[in-house]
Amino acid sequence: QVQLVQSGAEVKKPGASVRVSCKAYGYTFNDYYIHWVRQVPGQGLEWMGRITPNSADTDYAQSFLDRVTMTRDTSIATAYMELSGLRSDDTAVYYCARLLIGCSTSSCYHDFWGQGTPVTVSS
Amino acid sequence: ENMLTQSPGTLSLFPGQRATLSCRARQSVSSKYLAWYQKKPGQPPRLLMHDASNRATGVPDRFSGSGSGTLFTLTISGLEPEDIAVYYCQQFDKSPFAFGQGTKLEI
């Protein structure tokens, strides 16, 4: 069945980088974008960006443009999100979610999500 | 950016009552690009509605969605204790695919 399985919790120091992985199971990896969303404790859901697995094209939210890099390895159906220059306010749970490529001809929504990866930034 | 504004911020109701949650877009959004999610602590978001009014698989029929253009509504009829959560709308009309700030439902 469809699953997105993310890597485990991370603890990082300010200024460091973190890389979170998201491995896809049960569907054709290239048929869906992988989006990344985070939730800072006590706050709402924040869209960070997306990657197109086939082409590796990316689209980042303005607030993360200079710090986030999204990549993928299609051979193992895995997407990665790397966030650099970590600050304490990057402490959050990071989620990946899929979105059907070409959904503009039908409807768009995230039907499957990863379980979330807690990232703690602390000195 | 097509910002989404949800209201109210918090909704306190009793079991069996009806909850009406609103999501207002700064610019018009096609209904097929408007989704609703339920978020509980420690869990990933759960898709409730897509195309503004189509229930996702397994979602009870006490959940319904409506709206078009710039105003969309999620209605929960006959509230159950398990409906305690934060509810978010999201638009896919144009990047960035922003979420509303959420409505916290207390029962």
pLDDT digits (tens, 9 = 90+) for A20-56: 999 999 999 999 999 999 999 999 999 999 999 999 9
Average pLDDT over chain B, rounded to an integer? 95
Q: If 0-12 CB within 10 Å is exposed, 13-18 middle and 19+ buried, where does residue B12 land?
A: exposed
Q: Which residues of B touch A102 (CB under 8 A)?
A: none
Q: What is the pLDDT of residue B11?
A: 96
Q: What is the pLDDT of residue B42?
A: 95
Residue to substitute from B23, B89, B92, interface A, most A β-carbons within 10 A: B92
pLDDT surpasses 90 at B20: yes
pLDDT surpasses 90 at A107: no
Q: If 0-12 CB within 10 Å is exposed, 13-18 middle and 19+ buried, where does residue A102 land?
A: exposed
pLDDT surpasses 90 at B63: yes
pLDDT surpasses 90 at B9: yes
| Interface contact flag, B54 A107, Cβ < 8 Å | yes
| Interface contact flag, A113 B32, Cβ < 8 Å | no
| Interface contact flag, A44 B88, Cβ < 8 Å | yes
Inter-chain Cβ pairs, chain A and chain B, closer than 8 A: 67
pLDDT surpasses 90 at A103: no
φ, ψ (nearest 5 deg) of residue A28: -80, 110
For the segment A107-122, the average pLDDT, to the nearest whole number, is 96
For the segment B49-70, the average pLDDT, to the nearest whole number, is 95
CA A79 to chain centre: 7
Whole-number percent of chain A with pLDDT over 70: 100
Q: Which residues contact B103 (CB under 8 A, 6 or more apart)?
A: B6, B7, B8, B9, B10, B11, B21, B86, B87, B88
Site of tokens 């990866």: A117
